Chains A and B, each alone.
Chain A
Amino acid sequence: MAVPSSAQLEEVDGQAPGGGSKPPGASALKTILRKPSVIFSLAFLLIVTGMAVFAPWVTQLSGWGPLQFDESAVDSSTGGLPLGPWGGISADHWFGVEPQNGRDIFARIVYGARVSMLIAICATALTMLIGVTLGMLAGFAGGWVDAVISRLMDFLMAFPALIFMIAVLSAVPQGNRPLLLVLVLSLFSWPQTARVVRGQAMSITNREFVEAARASGAGRMTLVFKEVLPNLSGTVIVMATLAVPTFIATEAGLSFLGVGVIPPTPSWGQMIAQAVPWYASHPLFFAVPGIFLFLTVFSFTILGDNLQKVWASGGRS
């Protein structure tokens, strides 16, 4: 048979028909970086993160620390309401002051961001670590391993998590609260991640390239970490981005209920809780942490949703 033996015939410009798509990653980011909503979200998150990371320098710039009382800024004759309009906003106090003790709200927002972000990011990291490991184990190994992990997930997801969190956090001694929050939040969140990862790992494990790797001589651990895991990176990034805002909100909720971060360490949820009795006379005390909380959660959610959309549509696999 006279057929050219080289690949010349089928080599059409070295490019497959419709196959110019690289695996999502760099191109995915480029696509969503064009959307204004994503740009604003990223910008806001960068500001908040920057504030959190450089809190001591930021407050040095603004002049007031988070625990400093400023009695000259409040009026003792009205029960401690801030002096001046808009809750005492001035060149000294950019977001006004707290009633009664006159602590600078801006400084407390900055330090509160530090606590909230740190807890949320650590909890996300721990959740992903546990969720991806156990989910992959369940999906890849199957059998009784899968059965045990799946029942554990069912149990944790059916558990009244919020009640349990409140109970545990109010019962334990006042040790390292942020660490405890991270552990408790992760304990109840990893099953959501693990469930998704388990499903994906199951379908990836049945793909031919896993069998091909086995035929190439790959051991079980190699299969899981070298062949299956890279195909989960998109899912993990999306889930992590969406987990951060839930943790920020839950941490704020727990602090609001008085079982989260202990005063005087500032946290946004705790600030909102302190502001509740003053909502009529000093609405900004309530509004500032509320707006920051809302915008942070909102930005993370927008970012996560967009990443998810790109990963769902992009990249033939």
Chain B
Amino acid sequence: MTRQPLLRAENLVRDFRTGPRTIFRAVKGVSFDVARRETLGIVGESGSGKSTTARMAAKLIEPTEGLLEFDGVDVTYKAGKALRDFRGGVQVVFQDPYSSLNPRHTVEQVISAPLLYQGRKVLGGRRRVVKESMERVGLNPDHSGRYPAQFSGGQAQRIGIARALVVEPQLVICDEAVSALDVSVQAQVLDLLRDLQRDLNLSYIFIAHDLAVVRQIAHKVAVMKSGEIVEQGSREAIFDAPRHEYTQSLLAAVPQVDPSWEAARQAG
């Protein structure tokens, strides 16, 4: 069996037109791959092009140049039927749990939307599938008639996760999926994502600016700066022995308890 990656991105480039004659290159040729059951974390400060990269990987925007392969198939410029197949394999969880859920739709409508939009017939009916996926992400299935505004941020993000999982994708792209949540809720959602990965054999691309979050969930990490991946490797390699100076400065910027303070506290 060949170890073919689930998703492979090669030299992705994305330009944005900012004026009649000026073009801004947000992503300057990034390459990465995601293996099955593996989590790739992409970290970087805001404006580093990590969200643009995620949106290209999710085929929400087209790359200006480059190649995107999903399950061995070139999907870079696919549309129509091929794109629908891709949408069945790759789903997205967005940053803001409230603004990514239609305020006029009930939870049931939100979660079953991908089934409806992809024209899928499901055994036992949509309602049953919705209840099952609500249970799977830790929501009370009796609340399926409520509206997103009636849930807390963490619960709303669980709705977003349930929506992503309802078509049984292989890859879930989490674009700052826990950044808007409180730290305690963050930990719960990360835990849920890890459990789901184990139970459903999922792969993740996990975009975050918070190194601590990436460290908890990623197997591999790519560090982005000004549209380029400056360093990528296993989690241990990046966190324990960063080679690029930008990675080093990022890690140094994480607030840490100085051992001498701890000693002083113990003594006092």
* A residues whose Cβ falls under 8 Å from a Cβ of B: 1, 3-7, 9-12, 14-17, 19-23, 207-209, 211-219, 222, 226-227, 230-231, 233, 315-317
**Contact A7/B154 with A209-B102, A212-B92 known, Cβ cut-off 8 Å:** yes
Residues of B within 8 A of A315 (CB): 103, 149
Q: Which 10 A-B pairs have the closest CB atoms?
A: A217-B87, A230-B104, A7-B138, A216-B114, A208-B100, A215-B92, A16-B152, A218-B117, A217-B118, A217-B117
Whether B94 and A7, one on each chain, are in contact in the complex, defined by CB atoms closer than 8 angstroms, is no
Cross-interface CB contact of B147 among A3, A12, A23, cutoff 8 Å: A23
Whether B103 and A317, one on each chain, are in contact in the complex, defined by CB atoms closer than 8 angstroms, is yes
Cross-interface CB contact of A12 among B152, B160, B191, cutoff 8 Å: B152
Question: Could you list 12 A-B pairs, sorted by A, with CB under 8 Å?
Answer: A1-B187, A1-B191, A16-B151, A16-B152, A16-B153, A17-B152, A209-B101, A211-B60, A218-B117, A226-B113, A230-B104, A317-B149
Whether B149 and A21, one on each chain, are in contact in the complex, defined by CB atoms closer than 8 angstroms, is yes
* B residues whose Cβ falls under 8 Å from a Cβ of A: 58, 60, 84, 87-88, 91-92, 94-96, 99-105, 113-114, 117-118, 138-140, 143, 147, 149-156, 158, 160, 163, 167, 184-185, 187-188, 191-192, 195, 216
Residues of A within 8 A of B118 (CB): 216-217
Whether B60 and A214, one on each chain, are in contact in the complex, defined by CB atoms closer than 8 angstroms, is yes
Residues of B within 8 A of A6 (CB): 138
Whether A5 and B192, one on each chain, are in contact in the complex, defined by CB atoms closer than 8 angstroms, is yes
- Report how many A-B pairs have Cβ atoms within 8 Å: 121
Whether B60 and A4, one on each chain, are in contact in the complex, defined by CB atoms closer than 8 angstroms, is no
Cross-interface CB contact of A10 among B58, B92, B155, cutoff 8 Å: B155
CA distance A154 to B91 in the complex (A): 42
**Contact A16/B163 with A1-B187, A6-B138, A10-B185 known, Cβ cut-off 8 Å:** no
CA distance A214 to B150 in the complex (A): 24
Whether B95 and A208, one on each chain, are in contact in the complex, defined by CB atoms closer than 8 angstroms, is yes
Least CB distance from A226 to B in Å reads 8
Residues of B within 8 A of A11 (CB): 140, 152, 155
Q: Which one of B96, B105, B118 has the highest number of Cβ atoms from chain A below 10 Å of its Cβ?
A: B105
Whether A212 and B151, one on each chain, are in contact in the complex, defined by CB atoms closer than 8 angstroms, is no
Whether B88 and A217, one on each chain, are in contact in the complex, defined by CB atoms closer than 8 angstroms, is yes
Least CB distance from A195 to B in Å reads 22
Residue of B nearest to A232 (CB): B104
Residue of B nearest to A5 (CB): B191
Residues of B within 8 A of A4 (CB): 188
CA distance A216 to B163 in the complex (A): 8
Whether B87 and A208, one on each chain, are in contact in the complex, defined by CB atoms closer than 8 angstroms, is no
Whether B117 and A14, one on each chain, are in contact in the complex, defined by CB atoms closer than 8 angstroms, is no
Least CB distance from B148 to A in Å reads 9
Residues of B within 8 A of A317 (CB): 103, 149
Least CB distance from A39 to B in Å reads 28
Residue of A nearest to B182 (CB): A10
Whether B100 and A212, one on each chain, are in contact in the complex, defined by CB atoms closer than 8 angstroms, is yes
**Contact A216/B154 with A1-B187, A7-B188 known, Cβ cut-off 8 Å:** no
Cross-interface CB contact of A215 among B58, B105, B158, cutoff 8 Å: B58
Residues of B within 8 A of A209 (CB): 99-103
**Contact A19/B117 with A1-B216, A215-B91 known, Cβ cut-off 8 Å:** no
Residues of B within 8 A of A10 (CB): 152, 154-155, 184-185, 188
